[in-house]
Amino acid sequence: MSVPMERIRNFCIIAHVDHGKSTLADRLLEATTTVSARDMREQILDTLDLERERGITIKLVPVQMKYRGIDGLDYVLNLIDTPGHVDFTYEVSRSLAACEGALLIVDAAQGVEAQTVANAYLAVDHGLEIIPVINKIDLPSAQPEQAAREIEEVVGLDCSDVLLASAKEGKGIKEILEAVIKKVPPPSGERDMPLQALIFDSIYNNYRGVICYIRVTNGTVRTGDMITFMATRRSFQVEEIGVFCPDMRPVDELGPGEVGYLIGNIKTVEEARVGDTVTSSRNPAIAPLPGYRKVKPVVFCGFYPIERDEYPQLRDALEKLQMNDSAIFFEPETSTALGFGFRCGFLGLLHMEIARERLNREFGVDLVATAPNVVYHFRDMSGSLIEAHRPSDFPEASMIEEVLEPFIKITGFVPSEYVGKVMQLCQDRRGVFVGMDYITPQRARIVYELPLAEFIIDFHDRLKSVTRGFASIDYEHAGFRPSNLVKVDILIGGEPVDAFCFVCHVDRAFNRGQEAVRKLKEIIPRQLFEVSLQAAIGKRVIVRQNVKPLRKDVLAKCYGGDITRKRKLLEKQKEGKKRMKQIGRISLPQEAFLAFLKSGDEEEE
Amino acid sequence: MPSSSPAMKKRSNAKRAVSLYIHIPFCESKCPYCSFYSTAMAPGKVENFLGALEAEIDLLKAAHKVLPDVRTTYIGGGTPTVLGPSHWVRLIDILEKGFRFLPGNEVSVEANPGSISRELISLWKEWRVTRVSVGVQSLRDEDLFLLGRPHDAGRSAEAMKIVTEAGFSLSADLLFGLPGQDIRGWHESLKGVIGAGADHVSVYQLALDPGTPWGDRPPAGLAEGYPLYRWAQYYLEKKGYRQYEIASFAKAGKWCRHNVVYWLGGDFLGLGPSAWSCNGFERSRNVIDLDEYCSITGRGELPVCFSEILEGDVLVSERAILALRTRWGIRSRKFSALFGAGSLDTIMQRLEEIPSHLLKRSRGGVYLSREGMRVGNSIWQMLLP
């Protein structure tokens, strides 16, 4: 069924985590009989197991729904869902660019949260028509009027005819569909112009290669066409185009306003970048669609295989993961402590965790991650700007003219009784107060600017614990700023251990150095001699602790008969020691390194 | 072809003398920490054992034509004192018939305070026993009870008294690292055996060997061995005992020559079930079980169940480790003469990894310092290939 462009509606759903986005999507599919009741399962559009398990949506399949409105006309509704996390702001913006309207879902019991606002503003920026929907009205604690007031006051949307729904119970679904038809404007575009289609997502499929999710703005695309990606300048022949219903269904042609997929023997997602413009090779458009940029990783960490001989598996897994997710950056790295591994870059902490978990789950690689760090810029004596992806890239302090680190602007929605604690937390993290206002007498919006480095350590957990989980937070990048940062080396027996060194603000160096030394003291096995543990900035030692020498396992008698047995025992013990890593005169088991890095994780969780 | 080397001459002209060990495989009761082989006494069992021992000696004689002379003798176990006087008479008879004991032969006998008797003492006196090693373990009754020893502290004191009165050199074995043991209690035992006239003290850390009741289910509250050992080193040396091996302290000239043979790579011949022998570079062990020992020797076969040839890096590192147990340590010239200068270099290189205060170096070689002895077990590991 083909419908005229006036009866196409491209829209997305934006919502805070847990406010019911996936459930609402499920209901829309049912109501439009896009999916038969028999095939229906929960969170049907979430593609990864991980998403379904965590209840979060990273990437969601765009879906075409057919709907007969109460006006008796048939419409095509394309639901383009967006990743709801700030790590993926760029991807969100590209998805929004493919739409003309958005459903803004707000939980009737929880009201407006930080992400709701961030994403709503993003949608407004893209000129989308926003339809507020108050969801979960079935909850006993639901306060739809309160939620509506918050939407009006905080987001600034008119809620005089706000939609009330319970996606769980299927209430208000029809009204939502009608509102989409009435309020979301139809796409505009010219069939006869050269092809311009936006790639708003691309995934890698083992059998088909890269599948691009596209939204056609002008012109048409057909199977067999030669196309060019305008940013990467790569050309391909279209093997198949189609739409998601939600399974892939090939079609002959995609025209202006239409949303679907494109397959063309594309090997990696790197070649079909999100935000790029597809055009016709024979009759190319004059300019690409606006808004494309290449995403740059902001958070880095080292990934090392736990079993050292699994390095090739880790490399293969990362390569495959990158085919799927071009935002992941990696390059080989060698650590004296951990052996061969990779320095990996991510869009944020969640992105990093997802990658780590997918490597483990989908590729079966057991790995250890070093503590994450942000990307640093520093200006050396010659005035040139250098980018550092790891603490060990830091030059000697005397060589540095100025260090710059990324800052973020965070916006938190906090119950009023926790305002003081949250402000304290932000201050502790070198935060700079920007502003605060009360959304309601019970809830405040707090805005701070703080270094991303402070945010990625364990900010979320601290926030959760000081507010008992009642605060929500969102952030946006706020550029690089000069900072008094130092590299702190951790030395064991006078030898620096690369895997343990870190960069932090000079004021925090002592505390973090102390913490690292304390942790190390607990996990390093006693040695034959006293071992010094130090934290140092350059040559200046700021923390020092000694580990007393080994005292247990003193001696055993040994006469004629014991000799062979004793030797066997020693050989066995020695075998265990082969897995040890020599740091100067000190042998540390691999487990000690893992324990050190993992104990950091636990504090984060 | 005649050789001009004096060492070769010596070796070819004289039979090599050995150290002789006899394992008496009986105990009154089994201690929960002990991993040595022993079995309960039963009628006829001792006679069978003595018969088999005699048979083993005969078989050795047949195999080697002539048995080496004996320069040190050690009767251990098990508990040699559970044998009565008549059995001892038979044992001595068998040994005297089987071997030629060189003049100056050191003869040590292990004794349990619970079963030592004046009759045995006079028999030993007659047979020229020189040392009696008494398994005191502790002079505190609560320790002895915990250890499951068949005697109390008073009995130990009495046993030591009759040994010294008879004019034997007394050696006392003590255990440290016992559950609930502190320096004060440990000191009491050390002081007690010194007061009883021991001129040799062996201190052993309680070992939890697999296969023993305590190895499988360790008792609670085991004391840390290090400070107790350090105290023994300090106190015994102050009282005139010199530490000549990791676990052994002796007054001047009273060290046990038999044991030193084990550590410095001498030949030894072990008889009885589970006994080990080492002949040059071959080490072997007898079957562990008494019944098996009796039946194999009864069939006219040597009761050996395990043997290995020692060679290469294994031999070198083992010799280095054993030598470092003693106060003489590794003697450079002797070591390189035996194994080559390259082997000595290898060992010295491995020793470089060890903190310098754990070792003492002299012109002639290298040995462990007091601190080094305390962490011997960890040093051995570093010397392995």
For chain B positions 42-101, those within 8 Å of chain A (CB to CB) are none
Tokens of B312: 């290469």
Neighbours of B376 (CB within 10 A): 20
Spell out the SS3 assignment of A198-234.
EEEEEEEECCCEEEEEEEEEECCEECCCEEEECCCCE
Number of H helices, E strands in chain B: 16, 17
Domain boundary among B224, B248, B263: B263
Residue A73 touches chain B, beta carbons under 8 Å:
no
Which CATH number does the domain housing residue A542 bear? 3.30.70.2570
Q: What is the pLDDT of residue A477?
A: 85
Q: Are A216 and A189 in contact (CB under 8 A)?
A: yes
Low-confidence stretches of chain A (pLDDT beneath 50): 1, 55-56, 600-605
Does one domain contain both B323 and B248?
Answer: no
Q: Are residues A477 and A501 in the same domain?
A: no
pLDDT of residue B233: 94
Task: Please tell me the distance in Å from B6's CA to the nearest CA on chain A.
Answer: 29
- Which residues on A lie below 8 Å from B375 (Cβ)? 528, 549-550, 553-554
Indicate which CATH number applies to the domain containing A393. Answer: 3.30.70.240
User: Measured between CA atoms, how close is B235 to chain A, in angstroms?
Assistant: 18
Domain check: are A590 and A491 in the same one? yes
Domain assignment of residue B274, yes or no: no
With 90 as the cut, is the pLDDT of residue B369 above it? yes
Are residues A407 and A520 located together in one domain of the fold? no
* A471 and A490 housed in the same domain: no
Pairwise CB contact (< 8 Å): B270 & A550: no
Instruction: Judge whether A518 lies within some domain.
Output: yes
Which of A552, A555, A563, A566 has the most B C-beta neighbours within 10 Å, making it the best mutation to test the interface with B? A555
* Helices and strands, counts by H and E, chain A: 13, 34
Residue whose C-alpha is closest to residue B77's, from B44, B38, B50? B38
Q: Which of B206, B238, B263 is the last residue of a domain?
A: B263
Q: Where are the beta strands (DSSP E) in B25-152?
A: 26-27, 39-40, 70-77, 101-111, 131-137
Residue A363: give its domain's CATH number.
3.30.70.870
Minimal Cβ distance to A555: which of B21, B285, B377 = B377
ipTM of this complex: 0.74
- Domain-located, residue B9: no
Instruction: Please report, for residues A220, A407, B37, the alpha-carbon distance to residue A484 in angstroms, rounded to integers and kept in the order given.
Output: 54, 13, 70
For the cut 70, the answer to whether the pLDDT of residue B338 exceeds it is yes
Cβ–Cβ < 8 Å for A508, A488: no
**A313: in domain:** yes
What's B318's domain CATH number?
1.10.10
Residues in chain B with CB shorter than 8 Å from the CB of A550 are 375, 378
Are B226 and B319 within one domain?
Answer: no
pLDDT at A324: 74
Q: Is residue A293 situated within a structural domain?
A: no
Q: How far is the first Cα of chain B from the last one, in angstroms, to the nearest whole number?
A: 38
CA distance B380 to chain A (A): 7
Q: Is the pLDDT of residue B4 over 70?
A: no
Mean pLDDT value across chain B: 90
In a domain, B293, yes or no: no
Can you name the residues that pair with A342 across neighbouring β-strands? A303, A332
- Identify whether residues A497 and A566 lie together within a single domain: yes
Q: Are residues A313 and A362 in the same domain?
A: yes
Q: List pLDDT tens digits, range B58-87.
A: 999 999 888 999 999 999 988 999 999 999
Residue after which a domain boundary falls, among A340, A370, A400: A370
Residues A430 and A515 in one domain: no
Q: What is the pLDDT of residue A77?
A: 94
Q: Is residue A505 part of a domain?
A: yes
Q: How many structural domains is chain B composed of?
A: 2
Say if CB B344 and CB B336 are below 8 A apart: yes
Those residues whose C-beta lies under 8 Å from the C-beta of residue B348, and which sit 6 or more positions away, are B366
A560 and A537 in one domain? Answer: yes
Q: Is-contact B176 B186, C-beta < 8 A? A: yes
Domain span at A323: 299-370
- Over residues B219-231, mean pLDDT: 86
Same domain, A353 and A454: no
Q: What is the pLDDT of residue A601?
A: 43
- Same domain? B166 vs B106: yes
d(CA A511, CA A517): 10
Contact flag A561-B270 (C-beta cutoff 8 Å):
yes
- Asked if residue B219 and residue B342 are part of one domain, the reply reads no
Same domain, B118 and B253: yes
CATH number of the domain that residue A130 is part of: 3.40.50.300
* Structural domain ending residue among the three candidates A127, A151, A183: A183
What is the tens place of the pLDDT at every residue in B246-304?
999 999 999 999 999 999 989 999 999 999 999 878 999 999 999 999 999 999 999 99
Number of structural domains chain A divides into: 5
Q: Which domain holds residue B25?
A: 16-263
End position of a domain, from candidates A183, A213, A231: A183
Residue type at A430 in one-letter notation: R
Q: Give the Å distances, CA to CA, from A28 to A22, A392, A568, B309.
A: 10, 51, 70, 81
In a domain, A409, yes or no: yes
pLDDT in tens, A145-194: 999 999 998 888 888 889 999 988 989 999 999 999 999 999 999 999 99
B53 belongs to a structural domain:
yes
CATH number for the domain that contains residue B45: 3.20.20.70
Q: Is residue A269 part of a domain?
A: yes
pLDDT in tens, B109-166: 999 999 999 999 999 999 999 999 999 999 999 999 999 888 899 999 999 999 999 9
For B276, nearest residue in chain A (alpha carbons): A561
Please tell me which of the candidates A556, A563, A577 has its beta carbon nearest to residue B318: A563
Interface of B with A in 289-318 (CB under 8 A): 306, 308, 314, 318
Identify whether residues A430 and A517 lie together within a single domain: no
Domain stop point among B201, B232, B263: B263
Is residue B3 assigned to a domain? no
Do the domain assignments include residue B166?
yes
Chain A residue numbers touching B358 (CB-CB < 8 A): 528-529
Dist. CA A66–CA A78, nearest whole Å: 9
Does B325 lie in the same domain as B222?
no
- A360 and A265 in a single domain? The answer is no
Structural domain contains residue B210: yes
Instruction: Return the number of CB contacts < 8 Å for A and B.
Output: 96
Q: Is residue A119 part of a domain?
A: yes
What does the pLDDT read at residue A577? Answer: 59
Which residues of chain B lie closer than 8 angstroms to A585, CB-CB? Answer: 353, 355
Please indicate, yes or no, whether residues A49 and A121 belong to a single structural domain of this protein: yes
